[in-house]
Amino acid sequence: MLRALVLLLLLVNVALYGWLRSDPQALQPDREPQRLQRQVSPEAIQVLPDLPASAASAPAAAASTAASAASVALTSGDVDTGCVETPPLEGVQLVALKAALIEAGVPADAIAERRQSQGGSWIAYLGRFSDATVRQQRASELGRLNLKFDPVNAPAALNPGLSLGRFSSKTNAATRVEQLVRLGVHGARVVTLTAPVVHRHLQVHAPDQAWRRAAGQQRFDRCALDAGSTT
C-alpha cells in the first residue's frame, strides 16, 4: 500500500516537471516588462493634465446659463399678439411695472388696467326699519303681493330689514330691484353683503416687443376675451 502511494506521487512530480519545461512563460513572474509586452497598441494611450476647477465647471455653468435663458423666455410670455396682460398684481407691483414700461418708451395710451371681480353677494333689500313692528307691516304688504322675502337680522347695520332675493351678481340684484319697483314695492335697493375680490391686470397694447426688456421676468398672457373694466 505504501509503495503504491510513493509510486503515484513520483509519477505526478514527473508529469508536472514535464509541463513546466514545455511552457517557459509559466516559470516567469508576472512583472511589468512582461505586462507591457502583452498590451495592445500602448502608444495610443495619452495621459491628460489635470484641468483647473474653473475649466472643469465650464460645462455645468453653460448648462445653467442655458436653463436660465429658457426660464426667462417662458416667464416673459412670448405671446404673439397685439394685446398681452399680466396675471393679477398687487397695487404696488402694478404701479411700479407701469412706470417702468413708460420709462422704457411705451406710450401711456398703450397701457391699460383690467379689473376683474370675483365672488361677492348682494341682496334686494328693504329697510333699515325703525323697529320690528314696521318691518312686520312691510312684510304683510309683500305677502299681499305674493312676493317671497326673508328677515335680515345681520349685520347689525341692516337689522331690522327684509331681503327680497340674494344674488351672486350685482347686476342681477339691480334687475330684481327694478322688477320690484314695477310691482309697486318702493324703497328697495341693492345692498352688498359680501364684497367681491377685485383682481387687477396690467395690459399692454403694443406690437413692438422692445418693451419686454423693461418688463424683466414678468409673465404676460394673451388678453382675456372678457375684457371686463379697464382704466
Domains, the chain, ordered by start: 75-117+211-230 (no CATH), 121-195 (3.30.70)
pLDDT tens-digit readout, 76-125: 444 445 799 999 999 999 999 999 999 988 999 999 999 988 899 999 99
Look up residue 206 and give its amino acid.
A
Q: List C-alpha distances in Å: 196 to 37, 63, 142, 154, 191.
A: 87, 46, 30, 18, 13
pLDDT at 34: 54
Query: Which residues are CB-contacts of 128 (< 8 A; sequence separation ≥ 6)?
Result: 157, 158, 159, 160, 161
Is the model's pLDDT at 49 over the cut of 60? no
Q: Which spans in the chain are helix H?
A: 2-22, 32-38, 53-56, 58-75, 91-103, 132-144, 170-182, 212-215
pLDDT tens-digit readout, 137-155: 999 999 999 999 999 999 9
pLDDT at 16: 65
Give CA–CA dist 224/85, Å, rounded.
8
pLDDT at 114: 93
Is the model's pLDDT at 67 over the cut of 50? no
Which cell goes with 57? 465647471
Write down the pTM of the prediction: 0.47
Give CA–CA dist 78/212, Å, rounded.
9
pLDDT tens-digit readout, 169-215: 999 999 999 999 999 999 999 999 999 999 999 999 987 777 888 88
Q: What is the CA radius of gyration of the chain?
A: 45
